Amino acid sequence: MSQEPHVIVPEHVPPVALAELGEGQQQKLDTIAHHVRGILSALGLDLKDPNLAETDLRVAKMYVEMFHGLAEGAEPKVTTFPNEEQYSHMVMEKQIPFYSMCAHHLVPFYGHAHIAYIPRDRILGLSKFARILEFYAKRPQLQERLTEQVVTYLEEKLQPLGAMVVIEARHLCVEMRGVKKPGALTVTSALRGIFHQKSVREEFLDLLRHG
Ligand SMILES: [Zn+2]
């Protein structure tokens, strides 16, 4: 992997700077806050309680941040580089942490993604894996769809020989309610191209376990 040129930049996307919100965003905050007040009232809570007095706006701001992937212009600017070294082995970024919100229940699911591809003509800066993941995670989401969206993005941007994404996550909607299975991990995978070959998948798993 040492022959792969890349630029190291911080992996974490900065949170939305609320001070920079435009008028449309302010309207969105007000609308969400209004509905949060409705929910709290329907639950019989006293909105004059000091702990609840500003909960509506706090939740609204939090939603805007957690669903930032939906905002216009949120898609990361991903530049690719020519594969000048003709690197033709697997590039893997593993244990990338993420937090998302289950589209069915609007409670968090979170865990790690392992993303790999085998380049053809273009390569990707390593920090970009986390940004792509973050972009698709910051919206009401399904783990299955998140996995597919990341692998599809890699395929479209890089046209690699192949790509594979594995996501392991805990779902609070499973752990806190219903069947209540604390600690259960949901694992999803999606693959393209040469990763359909068993030997390539085995290399992926080997790098995941030991690499
Ligand atoms: Zn759920």
Q: What is the pLDDT of residue 5?
A: 43
For the domain made up of 18-70, give the CATH fold.
GTP Cyclohydrolase I; Chain A, domain 1 (1.10.286)
Q: What is the pLDDT of residue 95?
A: 96
Domain segments of the chain as ranges: 18-70, 80-209
For the domain made up of 80-209, give the CATH fold.
GTP Cyclohydrolase I, domain 2 (3.30.1130)
Q: Confidence class of residue 1 from pLDDT cuts 50, 70 and 90?
A: very low
Q: What is the pTM of this model?
A: 0.86
Task: Give the Å distance between the CA of 44 and the centre of ligand 1.
Answer: 25
Q: Which residue has the tokens 């690719």?
A: 80
Task: Give the Å distance between the CA of 183 and the centre of ligand 1.
Answer: 15
Task: Give the Å distance between the CA of 168 and the centre of ligand 1.
Answer: 15
For residue 71, what are the contacts with CB-CB under 8 A and spacing of at least 6?
A: 16, 64
What residues does the ion ligand 1 have nearby, CB within 5 Å? Answer: 102, 104-105, 173
Q: What is the pLDDT of residue 20?
A: 57
Tens digits of residue pLDDT in 14-48: 444 455 567 778 899 999 999 999 999 999 999 99
Task: Give the Å distance between the CA of 107 and the centre of ligand 1.
Answer: 7
Whether residue 2 is predicted with pLDDT greater than 50 in this model: the reply is: no
